[in-house]
Amino acid sequence: MITTDKTAKEIFFEVMANPQRVPFGFGNKAVLINVDPQKAYTRTDLYTTAYETDPNQLDYVNQLARGFRKLGWPVVWTHVAFLDSAEDAGVWGTRTDTPDSLQNIKYGSDRAAFDERVEIEPGDVVYTKRMPSAFFETPLQSLLVWHQVDTVIVTGGSTSGCIRATAVDSLSRGYRTIVPMECVADKHESYHYANLTDLHLKYADVMNVADVLAWLEARASDKA
């Protein structure tokens, strides 16, 4: 095992600067999966479980969503919520039992509600999930097959949890997977950058959101 005194952030930017990384690249058609931009995880002014990495994260997510809708491509939003009994949280909900605990994000609660800043349109797809990956026990895979997408773009949080799980499941299903770095967040920068590094090296293309937006704009120009 290699040891180092460098921070996770320093290692991440070294990896991103490595010209030898061969990207998976964009395919022909993409889906945008916005993972859990709900108040429990975005409203740092209200909940201790919330986090923020880039203050413009949700604005970037909205820009991506507009670009996808312009192309007629699917936009998906997920959020976490559980039954009052929390039995659908399974063993994941057994470590703690406080008002901030995961399994106490109840259906219809403020913590389960999407952040008011995200722009969800009537034609978008909304799924409730109970485990880290947006693919796990949701209709997401069927949706992607129907739309014949080959590329998955993932935003939301947390980088070390639900983003990583969704990205790994995406690649495992054969999709080119892209994570715009300004569009994901975590509680601590060490978790955030360590997982971005691992994602970029193994499972996804971690990119600047500006490059993703530019690709969408180019596709829209081609379609016009």
Alpha helices for the chain (secondary structure H): 8-16, 39-42, 57-71, 140-147, 164-172, 189-198, 209-223
Q: What is the DSSP string of 147-207?
A: HT--EEEEEEE-IIIIIHHHHHHHHHTT-EEEEEGGGEE-SSHHHHHHHHHHIIIII-EEE
pLDDT for residue 16 is more than 90: yes
Are 57 and 25 spatial neighbours (Cβ–Cβ below 8 Å)? Answer: no
Element (H, E) at 31: strand 30-35
pLDDT for residue 224 is more than 80: no
* 3 state DSSP class of 19: coil
The residues, ordered by sequence, that sit 6+ positions from 216 with a Cβ below 8 Å of its Cβ are 64, 67, 68, 70, 71
Are 148 and 185 spatial neighbours (Cβ–Cβ below 8 Å)? Answer: no
pLDDT for residue 20 is more than 80: no
**What letter does residue 87 receive in the DSSP assignment?**
G
- Nearest Cα neighbor of 123 from 71, 175, 163 is 71
pLDDT-derived band at 21 (thresholds 50, 70, 90) equals confident
Q: What does pTM read for this prediction?
A: 0.97
pLDDT-derived band at 223 (thresholds 50, 70, 90) equals confident
- Token reading at 86: 């929390």
* 3 state DSSP class of 102: helix
Which one of the listed residues 134, 162, 165, 204 is annotated catalytic?
162
pLDDT for residue 198 is more than 80: yes
Quick one: pLDDT at residue 156?
A: 98
Annotated catalytic residue 183: no
- Nearest Cα neighbor of 56 from 181, 199, 193, 207 is 181
